[in-house]
Amino acid sequence: MDYCIFFITTLALLLHSSAALETKRFQFTMPNVRPYRPELYLCTPVKVDYTRNYYMVAFQPNATMDTAHHMLLYGCGEPGSNNKPLWNCGEMTQSDDSEDSGSPCAQGSHSQIIYAWARDAPRLDLPEDVGFKVGKNSPIKYLVLQVHYAHIDKFRDGSTDDSGVFIHYTTQPMSKLAGVLLLGTSGSIPPMKKEYMETACEINERKVIHPFAYRTHTHSLGKVVSGYRVRTDEKGNDEWTLLGKRDPLTPQMFYPTMNFDPIRYGDRVAARCTMVSNRKRVTKIGATNEDEMCNFYLMYYVENDEPLDMKYCFTAGPPYFYWKNPEVHLNHIPDEEASQL
């Protein structure tokens, strides 16, 4: 295989301090890889010390959009490739039989997205007293870094890459634990048309979540991505509260939510990606730049509780799923607002 693999033998832990919280910094980067074909997804793991709890409070990217299309940080029970320092983890693509491949997290194990980066997004700091718990009393026993290399021209001369993230963390217990709920769709976009890719799910766990940040992600056809909390009143009328709305082709960082009101048991979360295609072919959901994606990430915290067991809210998307479908039971849909900036 035409790329270099270096085992992670040392992990940089640099002590930082602040008036309120003592934190350390952990360097989690690709082990000097040389991507060997376009649209390649590579994953590398690190095992978390399971004897104590750690709380991740900030994420500092070490990447540029000239090199990496995007990066995802997964929390896993087990990594997707046992005892391998690097593997092809493009879940939507076919891999060559000669290469190590698998999902970011092992099938059947705990799997969640913790952090996402694209388009030169800056550092992310969580609110005060909020952290992602990993380790002893968490189902997250491994962190897996996934990097999508859309283009490989800069590596043809033998150059290697160490894109990744510096994770700032503490061992000081935190009462507000962070989680991420990823809303998205499958489906397809017809040629030369506008299409709505929509999803909606009910919160069926008796927990109160406090949204504080959101992130949008599409490929080139995305024009607007919006996310909502939907609450039904006693008369059956739906109240749509905007959580976030953005042009997905601006820096794909986590932005503060437009509303911080709690989301409770029985509420629904909903998202729409407004897509406009000038292509003369059907565009399907997929992993490459020739495909599309529709994602709305909602970052939240719970107080004196554990984050939601629900990590994902996905639907079949168009032409099968729409908010307006009778079986979805949504009313007072903000059609115009959801698709205009």
What is each CA distance from 184 to 64, 196, 201, in whole angstroms?
Answer: 25, 12, 11
Q: Does 293 count as an annotated binding residue?
A: yes
What is the average per-residue pLDDT within 294-301? 97
**Model confidence at 11: pLDDT above 90:** no
- Catalytic, 219? Answer yes
**Model confidence at 93: pLDDT above 60:** no
Q: What is the pLDDT of residue 159?
A: 92
- Catalytic, 70? Answer yes
Which amino acid, 43? C
Which is the catalytic residue, given 56, 70, 168, 253?
70
Q: Does 70 count as an annotated binding residue?
A: yes
- Catalytic, 293? Answer yes
pLDDT, tens digit, 9 for 90 and up, residues 236-281? 999 999 999 999 998 888 999 999 999 999 999 999 999 999 999 9
Least confident of 55-59, 152-156, 169-173: 152-156
Helix (H, G, I), strand (E, B) or coil at 63: coil
Q: What is the pLDDT of residue 1?
A: 37
Which is the catalytic residue, given 146, 168, 253, 275?
146
| Domains, in order of start, for the chain | 13-174 (2.60.120.310), 181-338 (2.60.120.230)
Q: What is the pLDDT of residue 75?
A: 97
What is the average per-residue pLDDT within 43-63? 96
- Catalytic, 217? Answer yes
- Catalytic, 148? Answer yes
What is the average per-residue pLDDT within 25-53? 95
Q: What is the pLDDT of residue 91?
A: 59
Residue 111: name the closest of 146, 68, 61 by CA.
146
Least confident of 79-83, 112-116, 133-137: 79-83
Q: Does 210 count as an annotated binding residue?
A: no
What is each CA distance from 42 to 114, 286, 312, in whole angstroms?
Answer: 17, 16, 22
- Catalytic, 168? Answer no
Residue 219: name the closest of 273, 297, 298, 299 by CA.
273
Residue 12 exposed, middle or buried by CB count within 10 Å (0-12, 13-18, 19+)? exposed
Whole-angstrom distance, CA of residue 27 vs CA of residue 272: 35
Least confident of 38-42, 183-187, 337-341: 38-42
Q: Does 110 count as an annotated binding residue?
A: no
CB atoms within 10 A of CB 255: 18
pTM of the model: 0.88
**Model confidence at 311: pLDDT above 70:** yes
**Model confidence at 328: pLDDT above 70:** yes
Q: What is the residue-averaged pLDDT of the chain?
A: 90
**Model confidence at 16: pLDDT above 80:** no
| Residue entry with tokens 């376009």 | 38
Least confident of 23-27, 118-122, 230-234, 298-302: 118-122
Which is the catalytic residue, given 217, 252, 275, 299?
217
Which is the catalytic residue, given 69, 112, 168, 253?
69
* Token pair of 311 as six digits: 């990590």
What is the average per-residue pLDDT within 66-85? 91
